Structure 1
Amino acid sequence: MSNLRAAVIGVGYLGRFHAQKYAALEGVDLVGVVDVDLARAQEVAQEVGCTAYTDYRPLLDKVDLVSIVVPTQYHYQVARACLEADIHILLEKPVTQTVAEAEDLIRLAAERNRVFQVGHLERFNPAVVALAGVLKNPMFIESHRMAPYKPRGTDVNVVLDLMIHDIDIILTLAKSDLKLVNSVGVPVISDEVDIANARLQFESGCVANVTASRVSVDAMRKVRIFQPDAYITIDYQARKIGIFRKGGEGMPLPMIPNVTLEERRFEQGDSLMDEIKSFVRSIREGLPPVVSGEDGKRALAVALEINAKLAPQGPM
């Protein structure tokens, strides 16, 4: 089977990592990297052994697949051009600026029979993957995603920058239509909201409380899930999950009668490489992507509803 030809459009902080993964991936030839900053494109191209471009259009007839890692405002324009050229796309989150743009890309990908995957990286975290078979009818979900301030990513607010990761995971866990959204946000350093909290109520009765901050001193990425037969904790950074059950087979807890704890820990993985391998596998085997354009659209729609209902408290 011949190698697939790949390119990365946008090789800033995250795009550079995409380029490194393709360059290391068997069965894929990294043809080029694109960035409007010529010096940056040349630097990354030299590092991974391919050609540097400042315009993606000359590459459209030279590649089979691309990662699109440009600022969100350009997602739709670049993704549409690639799909029209019959190129499979891995488009970073948030998928587009509007739901209508996402819907158009979904339609076009289906018409062209192209794989359209969205870069919700947390789906490939081993702690999330390990929840398969454990999750049953969650009734309350609480997530905290805290990060130190970084100037990159501030073209969007914290909901579209960070919280959208947890929105996607929560929608996957809840498996129910959204009924009600309430939210509050505060701009701290940037002109956009830097700290936000949202309460999501689903038709199933499940409630999710979601907090995200990009102006924290310490990083934190944790989720707690309550369901009728268990309480589950996820620590993305520590790569572990804890499952508390009544009368389970785990370690007994002396302080709580008849409740046991099962802990699962995971080795340091490479979620980005897993994401890209999954994208390539979908192309080769004709499989639907793990995170589809529809998934990206659904997460975006909820994020935009949260933004629309933000009750700003004013700068601190």
Structure 2
Amino acid sequence: MKRKKLNIGIIGIGYLGKYHLEKFINNRQCITKWVVDSNLENIKNDLDISIKKTTNYKEILPDIDAISLVTPTKIHFKIAKFFLENKKHVLIEKPMTETVTQAKELVRIAKKNKVVLQVGHLERFNPVMKRLSNEISSPLFIEVHRLAKFNPRSTDVNVIFDLMIHDIDIVTTLISRKIKNVSAFGKKIITKTTDIANVRLEFYGGAVANLTASRISQKNERKIRIFEKDKYYSVDFMNSTINKYQKNIGRKKELFSSKEFKYNKTDALKDEINNFILSCYGKEIPLVDGNQGKAAVETATLISKLL
């Protein structure tokens, strides 16, 4: 029996929302029914006539099964809560919410109503991250640099919630222990919130992670180094490469042997949206569910209080 296609609403048609709209329209497993934005001029005039437009997100409720929420963070909770309470599946961009309390409430409602709550930590769909998740077992030290050129569209939150939250999610995925201690340093440079920050996370069991994030750099960079017993990995997320350095056994001239793994760049957003749709059908589980999104908000909140 042919299953009914999911009806989708896209809420927020700004810079990132337009990409969400494109991916959903091109996904044959769903039908994009509605787009919602406070400014209808953001929505292309040549949009398929079958896709309806509105400024009122509540208007779309009877017509949709799931939403993609790509609005400013400050209204994530209000909108996500409305749809979860009405038993609709929700894909919500990172950061999940402004506060831990809000994140906990969304997780509770999603569980109660047995609907999908997925959070858009896009780096998890990078093929490099998929390899690391399968290969890394006992990291001792992780060093991360995430640098971005200034973009005024994301300054409603600080650099921790804007950029570093990706790396918080990555590090806490690779290190399964709980965080024991946090130290942080950050400064406001050109906005009213922290623009550059360095954070040290110490975990039970002894592992340590050092994270640096800047949104006022002259270049974009997303790199991570991971050290384990007798080996380490140098990873470039932007270029989809992993260089693995392994300690040589015996009396070889070189202390380390190295091997490079290069991956074809994939469409991470397309993969994320496909994972969401299949999760709504019960065919997969979200790679980043509400609990994981909540955990990232908890750590980002703790760090922000130290700045």
TM-score (norm 2): 0.95
CA distance in structure 2 between the partners assigned to 1:101 and 1:195 by the alignment: 26
SS of the residue corresponding to residue 94 of structure 1 reads coil
CA distance in structure 1 between the partners assigned to 2:282 and 2:231 by the alignment: 37
SS of the residue corresponding to residue 226 of structure 1 reads strand
Note if 1:221 corresponds to 2:251. Answer: no
Note if 1:237 corresponds to 2:234. Answer: no
Are the aligned partners of 2:29 and 2:277 in contact in 1 as well (CA < 8 Å)?
Answer: no
Q: Which runs of 5+ in 2 are unaligned?
A: none
Please list the CA deviations of residues 59-116 of structure 1 after superposition, one character each: whole Å capped at 9, or x if unmatched: 1111111110111110110000011111100011111111111111101001110000
Note if 1:119 corresponds to 2:116. Answer: no
CA distance in structure 2 between the partners assigned to 1:294 and 1:193 by the alignment: 26
CA distance in structure 1 between the partners assigned to 2:197 and 2:154 by the alignment: 16
CA distance in structure 1 between the partners assigned to 2:245 and 2:28 by the alignment: 41
1:286 shift after superposition = 5.2
Pick from 268, 273, 285 the counterpart of residue 270 of structure 2: 273
Are the aligned partners of 1:19 and 1:48 in contact in 2 as well (CA < 8 Å)?
Answer: no
Are the aligned partners of 1:142 and 1:224 in contact in 2 as well (CA < 8 Å)?
Answer: yes
- Calculate the aligned-residue CA RMSD, in Å: 1.5
SS of the residue corresponding to residue 216 of structure 2 reads coil
Matches within 5 A, 1:128-207: 128-207=129-208
CA distance in structure 1 between the partners assigned to 2:188 and 2:49 by the alignment: 38
Change (3 A) 1:48 1:219: farther
Q: Which runs of 5+ in 1 are unaligned?
A: 249-253, 311-316
1:285 shift after superposition = 2.2
Are the aligned partners of 1:16 and 1:44 in contact in 2 as well (CA < 8 Å)?
Answer: no
Matches within 5 A, 1:250-265: 257-265=254-262
1:272 shift after superposition = 0.3
Are the aligned partners of 1:33 and 1:45 in contact in 2 as well (CA < 8 Å)?
Answer: no
- Could you say which residue in structure 2 is the equivalent of 1:10? 12
SS of the residue corresponding to residue 26 of structure 1 reads coil
Of 227-236 and 158-167, deviating more is 227-236
Note if 1:295 corresponds to 2:292. Answer: yes
Matches within 5 A, 1:23-102: 23-41=25-43, 43=44, 46=47, 50-102=51-103
CA distance in structure 2 between the partners assigned to 1:214 and 1:131 by the alignment: 25
Change (3 A) 1:216 1:47: farther
Are the aligned partners of 2:275 and 2:285 in contact in 1 as well (CA < 8 Å)?
Answer: no
1:283 shift after superposition = 1.2
1:152 shift after superposition = 0.4
Identity over aligned pairs, percent: 40
Are the aligned partners of 1:199 and 1:209 in contact in 2 as well (CA < 8 Å)?
Answer: yes
Are the aligned partners of 1:23 and 1:48 in contact in 2 as well (CA < 8 Å)?
Answer: no
CA distance in structure 1 between the partners assigned to 2:121 and 2:254 by the alignment: 39
- Could you say which residue in structure 1 is the equivalent of 2:106? 105
State the AA in 1 paired with 2:256.
V
Structure 1 runs of 4+ with >2 Å offset? 285-288
State the AA in 1 paired with 2:278.
R
Change (3 A) 1:119 1:229: same
State the AA in 2 paired with 1:147.
A
1:287 shift after superposition = 3.8
